[in-house]
Structure 1
């Protein structure tokens, strides 16, 4: 009897191992199909070409943003999805106006023009511009050290650079972006008349990098103009200040804040064949800043997300769960689209199980970061070997993405595509973020990598963790 039991046990173990091998082989073959389809017959690069070169920068509330809504909706409809719709969302509308102008005056009649760009949300300077002496600080914490006595009536020059010794460039960005976002609000408390911020850029060049800023609870009458200055000109200004503390800086901004306007998230869906109530999301943000055409930030993420659904249809894979592509509006200066999508999903009682965002540029994919429970992450790690033939090795717990973040609740797993980040901040929010800077093959590899992860999540599911237990962990 014991021998029979052992024989059965060996047989079952062998059968289980054989079944697992067959499943891994099937997964490997499906990933190969997905990569082949994206690299040999991809659509993402053509979509990006149109978004970038026919429409251009897509600032929230702009005519170009509306064009992008209409274009991507039409393209999703052409894919023959089960459902395509627009989700209304009110977004802020800020316009840059005429091109900014600035110079450094070292003595009467002796000036040097410098490259600046208004930060998104800034107020304009007075009609004749703002001109004042400059005080350089290395961050918001420096303001208290100098105090109102030294700051009042001056332009504060925030010159903390991104740390070049950090391999993770997003960590370097996070270490100094507070001076861009909150610098004007904080400097105004000390009587500053304006703010200039060193561009968030690891490279030395002449491109000022814009980005979102806010005034907090600063009264409108107390708000001061804020602009980014290129890294080359920031270094020049810092150097010349060491020799001449009495120099003056002049700049003119022509921006304007308007009333909120209606825009849309663009959503396309393939209804699940077995578990339609379980929803997976892939997405990027449709809006961009206005200096370039937003190809890396985040046209790349938009077209890669659209491509995931197209690839499934092309390889003949019918998702078991419902798969949605969501092209979020207003990530750059408000996150209204991401918040609205999550709000509507909660109101409808929708059950999201997975959401993947691409918002780190169209560079060579390296892997993913996951906002997941440890048990869920352990399951995901079991798929890592399937990606190694494509040189995808980075699987780490961490942040996912700004637009899918509001979906975080219960057992939903959030993920972010992680491309190589070393060049990303060369282009981020600047005039050189253009179509020519995106490599077709890298973009297509990213789309295939996203589709492969979504396939594995759909085909194998994700562990469901008891919410109450999870909260205690």
Structure 2
């Protein structure tokens, strides 16, 4: 026995024993976090209220305002050390009456499912009817030029590239036609733009989303369902040179910016009064549905991280914040404001984690500022701890839109994206199907526990790998 104790003392003095002790302590804490989230979790029922009692929460809307006040009250009910609202001016765009769209060939009018893109301008009251030109890329648009674009409706029909395993990569490579396409088409004289919905699913649910005209003229823009896109493309191919036209009528408008808020809850750190770890998602959502996966799951998981810490009596070393950002969907003003205020207050942010890829089964995390050495070491230290919970995929990748502005104001920060399974997200994203019923309770709670586990590990050990 004396020999065993002497060996342990020698190992401890050499530093070789300490990592094993730390791993054991961390394992116990992670188990507590998961037990609390899975047995006593609150994020699912909170999400139910957000979706069913409040519903769509587009910036500037009554729903957004109601969600801010409810979220503040929710955080206060959990006894966080500090809960407050951070003022931010946000865009106010309204869809108006339901859009109309028809493929027009001769005397035939074929109705299609479509939705105006966010920040789009309206058509004239009588709508627009014009010949359609089908394109697959912005380069094709530039190659055709004004001669073949002027007076026409541009139809961007580039589908998802299904070779990507992570569907977010397919979304990223297809997204330029929605984001920049309408503005660029307007530059060449197009009268309107319709865009294939950004999804691999073949269905009749149009996917809205923001567009950015830049300094170009503004023309009406809408997304059509993938079934409608395939139908229109087929009719164009069979037209034998005869014009295929499209009728589009939208009723949207942009109103003056309005005052809104980021909602922030905080647990004070015991050691580092000016160091912060932020976890957040965005409270706003598009107006077509309840914004369940995008991003009700993210904000409810963020609040759950702090609630779990309170429930298991964990006292963090650093300040831990849950931030419900406003206006991610059509302006990013909440994320910009948060970063500006953090810089003005001279706060030191160690890390920021964003959860904005749905409430699906957790897989791991992506690190935006990850060198090969960083990834090697963080996997060496933490992968085995996270493996029992199947959330151990620690890779290089993006952090997120709302936490992105922190990169400029906090050079040392690590930006981290929560990465759940991606296969179903873009079937639902920005559609009428983004409702509470499409969220799985168990998956949502596993995600909240996974994020809380990473926050705990960062709080205890930092990120100096």
TM-score (norm 1): 0.93
Partner of 1:334: 331
More off after superposition, 307-316 vs 183-192: 183-192
User: What is the CA distance between 1:107 and its match in structure 2?
Assistant: 1.4
1:75-134 alpha-carbon deviations (Å, 9 max, x no partner): 0000101110000000000000001011112212x2111001000000000000010110
Task: Determine the structure 2 residue equivalent to 1:212.
Answer: 210
Aligned partner of 1:112 in structure 2 is: 110
2:375 & 2:341 partners in 1: Cα distance?
Answer: 28
Report whether the alignment pairs 1:98 with 2:93.
no
Who is 1:4 aligned against?
none
Q: Give me the whole-angstrom Cα distance separating, in 2, the residues matched to 1:197 and 1:133.
A: 15
Q: Please report how far the alpha carbon of residue 262 of structure 1 lies from its aligned counterpart in structure 2 after TM superposition.
A: 0.5
Alpha-carbon offset, residue 10 of structure 1: 8.7
Which residue number corresponds to residue 428 of structure 1? 429
Aligned equivalent of 1:34: 33
- Give 1:144 deviation, angstroms: 2.3
2-structure distance, mates of 1:462, 1:132: 56
Deviation at 1:190, TM superposition (A): 1.6
Contact 1:362/1:419 (8 A) holds in 2: yes
CA distance in 2, matches of 1:292, 1:353: 35
1:167 Cα deviation after fit: 0.7
What are structure 2's unaligned runs of at least 5 residues? Answer: none
Q: Distance in 2 between matches of 1:460 and 1:63?
A: 42
1:168 deviates by: 1.4
1:86 paired residue number: 85
Match of 1:236 in 2: 231
Q: Distance in 1 between matches of 2:432 and 2:12?
A: 60
CA distance in 1, matches of 2:401, 2:133: 34
Q: Distance in 2 between matches of 1:10 and 1:57?
A: 59
Q: Give 1:378 shift.
A: 4.3
Shift of 1:379: 4.2
Partner of 2:313: 316
In structure 2, do the counterparts of structure 1 residues 84 and 10 end up closer, same or farther at CA, with 3 Å as the change threshold? closer
Alignment check: 8 A CA contact 1:155 1:192 kept: yes
Runs of 4+ residues over 6 Å off in structure 1: 7-10
Q: Which residues in structure 2 correspond to 1:377-416 (within 5 Å)?
A: 377-381=375-379, 382-408=381-407, 409-416=410-417
Aligned length: 454
Helix, strand or coil at the partner of 1:383: helix
User: 5 Å matches for 1:191-202?
Assistant: 191-202=189-200
Q: Does 1:58 align with 2:53?
A: no
Deviation at 1:305, TM superposition (A): 0.3
1:13 Cα deviation after fit:
2.9
Q: Is the 8 A contact 2:117 2:222 kept in 1?
A: yes
- Partners of 1:37 and 1:248 lie apart in 2 by 58
> Could you tell me how far 1:14 is from its partner in structure 2?
5.8
2:173 is matched with 175
DSSP 3-state at the match of 1:405: coil
Higher mean alpha-carbon deviation, 203-212 vs 148-157, is at 148-157
Per-residue deviation, residues 318-368 of structure 1 (Å, max 9, x unmatched): 111111111100011111000000001101111111111100000000000
Contact 1:285/1:301 (8 A) holds in 2? yes
Q: Distance in 2 between matches of 1:373 and 1:12?
A: 35
**Correspondence for 1:467:** none
Contact 1:379 1:462 in 2 (8 A): no
Superposed CA offset, 1:26-70 (max 9, x none): 111111111111111100001100111111111011000011101
Q: Indicate yes or no: 2:24 matched with 1:25.
A: yes
CA contact (8 A) 2:138 2:177 kept: yes
Task: Give, in whole Å, the separation in 2 of the partners of 1:212 and 1:117.
Answer: 11
Matched, 1:163 2:152: no
- Are the aligned partners of 1:297 and 1:429 in contact in 2 as well (CA < 8 Å)? yes
Match of 2:281 among 260, 271, 284: 284
Report matched runs for 1:359-374 at 5 Å: 359-374=356-371
